[in-house]
Amino acid sequence: MDTQFIQFIFSAALIIFSCVHAQKTDEHEKFIDELYQTTLKNGATYDLLGQLCHKFPSRLSGSPGAAAAIEWTKTVMQQYGFDRVFLQDVMVPHWVRGAREQAAIISGRQRTELNVLALGRSVATPAGGITAEVVAVTSLAEVAEFGREKIAGKIVFYNRPFAQEFVNTFRGYVATVDQRSKGASTAAKLGAVAVVIRSVGTGDDDFPHTGSLHYAKDSARIPAAALSSHGADQLARRLLKTPNLRFFLKLHCQYLPDVKSHNVIGEITGSENPDQFIMLGGHIDAWDTGQGAHDDGAGTMQTISALRTLQQMGYKPKNTLRAVMFINEENGLRGGGKYAELAVQNKEKHLVAIESDAGGFTPRAFGIKGGDSSLAKIRTWLDYFPDNTITAIKAGHGGADINPLNRADGTPVVGFIPDSQRYFDYHHSPADIFSAINRRELELGTASLAALIYLVDQFGM
Ligand SMILES: [Zn+2]
């Protein structure tokens, strides 16, 4: 072939390619634009989340509330006419808080009651409660420094404030949460009789924040509870005046036998690759303190709503879209584990697993774990997302319920990253209720998740 002919072919191919490419880009831009408009105007997420929060506010694993929420989400997806809706059996732990906890500062005959919440998985106090002197510390290391002499027989009070210096509040959470997760066992090894912590939260208020603790195998299990930031400040002030102050704590928690529960799954069948899944999920269980509105009612209802919106827009996916409400994220992670186990057993192929579990706030980014090529590919889609929504694709992330799938078969996992400034004002506390949700922010999250699903369906991973 002569050079001119080659040049001609090359230019022709380039023109054809640019036309096709331009046309495609317009088509996808148009679809995603319409997707955001539809969701902002008529999205179902806010209404669904209102129903979930008001009908089933208490959804801790094994509870009647969790069981009822599972049945309800199944019915919602059936009523939407999803092609297949089914339950996946999961045995879950059944820890209960019991009657309302009590905590009080005791000074002579004076008794000052404080708001308190047992930490998840804590054991109860003896029936009459525990009264003991308090030792205030700010770290696990300080407990070790104090040693048995100062710790034995005492209630250890972990008073480290939330690490506020990070823009990303999840970094602050990680930097502070060890007093909740490991504080009890660290203090028990030196003979402490109970632990109270300053809540791991960003707010300055009177809401205690619960969350799981982990008992070490080689130490006694002692009761542990959270005080609000105001309560912790009050106790700290009183300790300055009266160092040998006594504290009263009464918890009624119980471990009941494991309960059969479920992950709830809804699907819209793919037209070209019905056996290839694009999975989106959140967790249906929540702590029993508020209504689990941001954590993670928002993620589960965004999941259903994202598929619903694509369905209502008449979109026929090439791959099967799968919505998953995981059970037991908060105190066991058994739902995510079971999902991964069955996916491997049934040789299911997932293009991607996406999770929304960081609150119903304004979308900012997606994080991806697994496969550099997927990261590079998703980054080329950034222009499809409207300004002030998804502006970055970050390496590393995923989600607590989907990471087991990544570990089991290498499926790339994507975590939805909304604005994090207010999340830890609500997280695991009585303040995590429906009125803390902003409709537009929540629906923008749904639209961003639906747009990502659409792009993966169109371009693969
Ligand atoms: Zn969560």
pLDDT digits (tens, 9 = 90+) for 224-257: 999 999 999 999 999 999 988 999 999 999 999 9
pLDDT band at 372 (very low <50, low <70, confident <90, very high): confident
Query: Residue 354: left (phi > 0), alpha (psi -120 to 50), or beta?
Result: beta
228 C-alpha to ligand 1 centroid (Å): 20
125 C-alpha to ligand 1 centroid (Å): 27
Higher pLDDT, 338 or 371: 338
Q: What domains lie within the chain, and their CATH numbers?
A: 34-95+258-459 (3.40.630.10), 98-252 (3.50.30.30)
400 C-alpha to ligand 1 centroid (Å): 8
Query: What is the C-alpha separation between 454 and 354, in angstroms, rounded?
Result: 13
239 C-alpha to ligand 1 centroid (Å): 35
Give the count of alpha carbons within 13 A of 66, CB side only: 32
296 C-alpha to ligand 1 centroid (Å): 5
Whether 125 shows a pLDDT value over 70: the answer reads yes
pLDDT, position 25: 65
The percentage of residues in the chain with a pLDDT greater than 70, rounded to a whole number, is 95
326 C-alpha to ligand 1 centroid (Å): 10
Q: In what order do the strands lie in the sheet with 392-395?
A: 84-96, 254-268, 319-326, 273-283, 349-355, 413-418, 363-369, 392-395
3 C-alpha to ligand 1 centroid (Å): 62
Q: Write down the mean pLDDT value for the chain.
A: 94
Q: Rounded to 10 degrees, what is the CA torsion of 382, 384, 372, 327? A: 100
Average pLDDT over residues 341-360: 98
Whether 134 shows a pLDDT value over 50: the answer reads yes
Q: Is residue 433 classed as helix, strand or coil in its secondary structure?
A: coil
Contact 224, 118 (CB under 8 A): yes
Query: What is the C-alpha separation between 372 and 393, in angstroms, rounded?
Result: 12
Average pLDDT over residues 371-396: 93
397 C-alpha to ligand 1 centroid (Å): 14
374 C-alpha to ligand 1 centroid (Å): 25
DSSP 293: I
User: Over the stretch 398-449, which tens digit does the pLDDT of each residue have?
Assistant: 999 999 999 999 999 999 999 999 999 999 999 999 999 999 999 999 999 9
415 C-alpha to ligand 1 centroid (Å): 12
pLDDT, position 373: 86
Within 8 A by CB and 6+ apart from 79, the residues are none
Residues labelled as active-site residues: 329
Q: Which of 334, 319, 312, 313 is nearest to 263 (CA)?
A: 334
pLDDT, position 23: 45
123 C-alpha to ligand 1 centroid (Å): 23
Whether 7 shows a pLDDT value over 70: the answer reads no
User: Over the stretch 19-45, which tens digit does the pLDDT of each residue have?
Assistant: 444 444 689 999 999 999 999 999 999
Query: What is the C-alpha separation between 398 and 354, in angstroms, rounded?
Result: 7
243 C-alpha to ligand 1 centroid (Å): 38
Six token digits for residue 310: 């694509």
